[in-house]
Chains A and B, each alone.
Chain A
Amino acid sequence: MDRRKSIKALLITGASAGVLVEACKNADKKITDASSVSANPFLGPDRMAEEIKHYEKVAAEKFFDDHEMKTIRVLSDIIIPKDEVSGSATEAKVPEFIEFIVNDMPEHQLPLRGGLRWLDMQCLNKYNHAFVDCTTQQQIEMVDAIAYPNKAKPEMSQGVAFFNKMRDLVVTGFYTSEMGVKDIGYMGNVPNQWNGVPDEVLKQYGLAYSEKELKECAHYDKA
C-alpha cells in the first residue's frame, strides 16, 4: 500500500477501518468466525466481549456517595488548579475518572473512603465542619498538614498516605486527559516521519550524528 494513501486513510476516517479494509482487501476470504469481538461505539477502542462485559459491570457501579464526590472535587482542584498553561482537574473531568477507576481497581476504594472520612474527622475536630464546609483557608491549612510527607507531623501520617494517593490519581487523571496531554507537551501519536533529533536540540546537548549514522539511517524528505 502506498504510504501516503494509507496515512491519508487513517487521518480521514478516524476509526479508519473501513477505508483500509477496502484498500487492503483480500480476495475470497474463508473465515469461519464465531468471533466474540464486537464493536461497542461507547467504548472507543477495540474490545473483546469479555472486556465489554467487565466494563459495563464496573461502569454501572457507584462507589462514592454525593458527599464523598464533592470532597473529591474540591481536593482535585486544590491539587490541580487552573494556571496560565491549562485548566483545572474538574475542568478535565478528573473526578469522573476517579469515580470510574475505583470500580476498575477496587484496591483504591478502602484507602480513599477511609481517607476521606479521616479528613472529615480532622476538620470536624478542628474547625467544627466537614472538609467541604470549611473555609478555603481552613481547607488549605488542612491540606498543608498532609501534603508534605517529610515535614508532616507524625500524627498526620495516615493523612499523608491518603493525600499521596489522591495526588497520584488526580495528577495521573489530569495528565492523561486531552487538556493534560496538551499541557505536558506530548506531540506524538500522529503520522509523521522521523528524521532524528532536531538540530537545535543536538546543539543544546553538544551531540551530533556520526558519519556512519547519517549514511546508514533512514532519511525522509518532508513533503
Chain B
Amino acid sequence: MGELQIKKETKQYDAIIIGSGAGGGMAAYVLAKAGLKVCMLEAGPNYDPAVNSDQLKNPWDSPRRGASTKFRPFGDFDGCYWGWEIDGEPYTHANGTKWEWWRARMVGGRTNHWGRISLRFGPKDFKRKSIDGLGDDWPIGYEDVKPYYDKIDQLIGVFGTNEGLPNDPDGIFLPPPKPRLHELMLKKAAGGINIPVIPSRLSILTKPINKDRGACFFCAQCNRSCKVYGDFSSSSVLVKPALATGNLDLITNAMAREILTGNDGLATGVSYVNKTDMLEYQVKGRVVILGASACESARLLLNSKSTRHPNGLANSSNVVGKYLHDSTGAGMGGVLPQLFGRKRYNEDGVGGMHVYTPWWLDNKKLDFPRGYHIEYWGGMQQPAYGIGMGIQSQNGKFAVNGKTKEPGGYGASLKEDVRFFYGASFGMAGRGEAIARADSYCEIDPNVVDKYGIPVLRFNTTYTDYEIKQAKHMHETFQEIMHQMGAIITWGGDNGPQNNWGLANPGNIIHEAGTVRMGNDPKTSALNKWSQAHDCKNLFCVDGGQFVSQADKNITWTILALSMRASEYIIDQMKKQNI
C-alpha cells in the first residue's frame, strides 16, 4: 500500500444505507422512489440473479457435484457468497459458547438464497411479556405493522391462504401450489393427531404481478436465486428498481468501518474500506441507516465511539449487542417405505415446502413459554453430492423389489437399490421462538481485528431450559408425525437429553435478531418505535437488530415491513425538517 489517506466523497447524500439485504434494500427502494439521493454501501460484489443465478444447472455442471465449500456452505449452486466463515474476517466466542454466524457478502445479502418463508407476526408476537412475563413487549403492535405487511404482500408477492388463525394473520395472497405426494400423506397423517398442516406462505410468484418480474416456472431452486425474478430477492426486487430511479448510488465491495458523528453527536456519514483497492473512504449523508444484519449493525455501532458517544453510538443504554437471539431449531428425518420404487414424474414444484404447520398449541398448558412452526421436505429432488451414500444402512433393512438383500454390495444389484430408494426420503424441522435475554449477547473482542483492522465480534450466547424443553416437545411431535405416516426414522431419532434434544447451536438457523432493540424507554432500548436511535435522531436501524422478540416466525417479512415503515417516517421527518 502506498501513502495511507482517506478519500472523502464530495457528494452529500440524503441517506446512506449500510447493507443491501431485506432491510437495506427496502429502505433504498422507498427512499429512492421518493426522490431522495441515496448511497448504499455493500460489503460484497454486485449480484443480479438474472446474471448470476445458477438456476437450472445440473449436478454434473459442478466439479464437486453440488457439494458445499466454505464459499458456499449450502452447496455449490447456492445463491450466497460466503457463509459461516469469511477469509480474513474472524469472529470469536467467550466461555466455550457456540454462536454460528452466517454472513452473506453480495448485493441482496442473504435474500438471494433464503427460504422465502414470509410470515407475518401475529398480535401476540408483539406483546409476549404481557402474556408470559418473559422478555419485553414491543413498543408497537400488530395494528401498527399490518398496513405495511399489506403493502409488502402486494409489492413483493406471497402465496398462501387466509385461514383466519388468531396469531398467524391473513394476508393478501397469491394462490399456493398444490401439495406434493408426501405432503398429501403428511396432511392425512397429521390431521389424525390434530396437528394442522396448511399451505405455506412463500414469496414466490405463482402468478405474475407486474411486468418487471416473471412468474415461477417450478424448478424448485429458489435457493439459487431466480433468473426471471419469480421470487423475492432484495437484489432483484428492491435494489434494481431503486437503481432505475437514478437516485441510488450503489457502492459494492465497501466494508463499513464506522459511523461518523459530529460535535453535536449527530451522524454525518460513514467511513468504509474499499476491499478492492484497500483505500479508506468517507461518504456523507443527512441520515445513516443500518441494514447490515443484526450482529454486523451492532458491531458497527459499538465500533463507532466518540467523545459524545463513548460507549459506542446509540448505546447509552448499554443494550447494543445484547438480547441476541436466533430461532431455535431441531429436526428429524427418514424414509417413507410406501414411496419405495415410486413412479417417476417431475415433482419439483416451488423452492421449498408447499405446506407447513404453524404453532397450534397453548403454551399456558405446556412447560415452555414460546411456540414453533414446522417445515417439511422430501420427494424426488435433484440428485447432488451425497446421493446413494450409506446404502449399506438401507439395503439390508428394506426388501428391494420384494427381495431381502445382504447389506452393502455392489454391481447391478446396487444400482437397483439406489433407484428403488430414490424419492422416498422425508424430513421436518421445527423453528421456534427463543427468549431474548440481556445475558446472551455479542460484544467487541478487545484483542482481535479483521484484515481491515476493524475490531471483531465476540459472541457469548446460551440457551436455557425454555429452549431445551421446546426442542424436546419438537422431538416428540416429530416422532408422532413420523409414526403416523408410517415413516422409518433414519436421523434425529437418537436426540435426547444428552444433546438437548437436537437443539441447534444458536445462530445456526440464521435468524439473528435483537441486538439494537427498539423500545419506549431510552434506558433499556437503543431505538424508538420508528427504528430511530434514541441517542442520535438521524440514525436508524432497519434490520433484525431492532427486534424486541422474534416470534415463531421467520423474520424477513417483518424486517421488510419495519424498514418500509421507518423509511416512510424518515421522509416525513425530513419534510418537517426534524432531521
Contacts and interface: CB of A to CB of B under 8 A. Distances in A.
Interface of A: 1-3, 6-7, 10, 16-17, 20-21, 24, 26-37, 43-46, 48, 50-51, 54-55, 59, 78-81, 83, 85-86, 97, 100-101, 104-105, 143, 147-151, 160, 163-164, 167-168, 171-178, 180-181, 183-198, 200-202, 204-205, 207, 209, 213, 216-219
Given A31-B252, A194-B177, A181 B59 contact: yes
A213 B240 CA distance: 35
Given A37-B46, A45-B61, A183-B419, 15 more contacts: A1-B208, A3-B215, A28-B246, A46-B52, A97-B63, A176-B383, A184-B418, A186-B381, A191-B218, A191-B219, A192-B218, A197-B180, A209-B178, A218-B206, A219-B175
A192 B348 contact: yes
A105 B67 contact: yes
B58 A148 contact: no
B376 interface: no
A30 B54 CA distance: 25
Nearest to A200: B343
Nearest to A210: B187
Contacts of B415: 80, 83, 85-86, 183
B381 to A, nearest CB: 8
B115 interface: no
A7, A183, A194, A217 — which one has the most chain B CB atoms within 10 A of its CB?
Answer: A194
A104 B380 CA distance: 27
Interface stretch (B147-155, B385-393, B448-456, B536-544): B385-393
B418 A26 contact: no
Contacts of A197: 178-181, 184, 345, 347
B396 interface: yes
B265 interface: no
Nearest to A78: B410
Given A97-B65, A194-B349, A218-B206, A185 B422 contact: yes
A189 B347 CA distance: 10
Interface in B42-85: 45-48, 50-54, 56-67, 69, 71-72, 76-77, 81
B396 A100 contact: no
Interface stretch (B21-29, B270-278, B324-332, B464-472): B270-278
- Across the A-B interface, the 10 shortest Cβ-Cβ residue pairs: A34-B276, A171-B388, A196-B178, A6-B214, A188-B348, A26-B244, A185-B344, A176-B59, A176-B65, A191-B217
Interface stretch (B293-301, B401-409, B565-573): B401-409
A193 B350 CA distance: 10
Contacts of B422: 184-186
Contacts of A148: 406-409
Given A34-B276, A45-B54, A150-B408, A216 B414 contact: no
Contacts of A198: 343, 345
Contacts of A79: 410-411, 414
A27 B246 contact: yes
Given A104-B64, A172-B386, A150 B274 contact: no
A71 B393 CA distance: 26
8 contacts: A6-B217, A7-B228, A34-B274, A36-B276, A37-B52, A167-B414, A171-B389, A185-B422
A176 B348 CA distance: 17
A218 B383 contact: no
Given A1-B211, A181-B58, A194 B178 contact: yes
B372 interface: no
B250 A3 contact: no
Nearest to A55: B63
A112 to B, nearest CB: 15
B358 to A, nearest CB: 16
Interface of B: 45-48, 50-54, 56-67, 69, 71-72, 76-77, 81, 87, 159, 161, 174-181, 184-185, 188, 199, 206-208, 211-215, 217-221, 227-229, 240-241, 243-244, 246, 248-253, 274-277, 338, 342-350, 380-392, 396, 406-412, 414-415, 418-419, 422
A184 B419 contact: yes
Nearest to A214: B178
A204 to B, nearest CB: 7
Contacts of A32: 249-252
A201 B345 contact: yes
A173 B62 CA distance: 11
A171 B387 contact: yes
Contacts of B77: 45
A148 B406 CA distance: 7
A118 B345 CA distance: 44
Nearest to A26: B244
Contacts of B159: 218
B81, B208, B387, B412 — which one has the most chain A CB atoms within 10 A of its CB?
Answer: B387
A188 B220 contact: yes
Contacts of B214: 1-3, 6-7
Contacts of A151: 406
Nearest to B241: A26
Contact of A190 (B57, B219, B253): B219
A188 B382 contact: yes
A45 B217 contact: no
Contacts of A97: 63, 65
A16 B52 CA distance: 10
A201 B411 CA distance: 30
B181 A176 contact: no
Contacts of B248: 30
Contacts of A176: 59-60, 65-66, 383-385, 387
A147 to B, nearest CB: 5
A195 to B, nearest CB: 7
A178 B419 contact: no
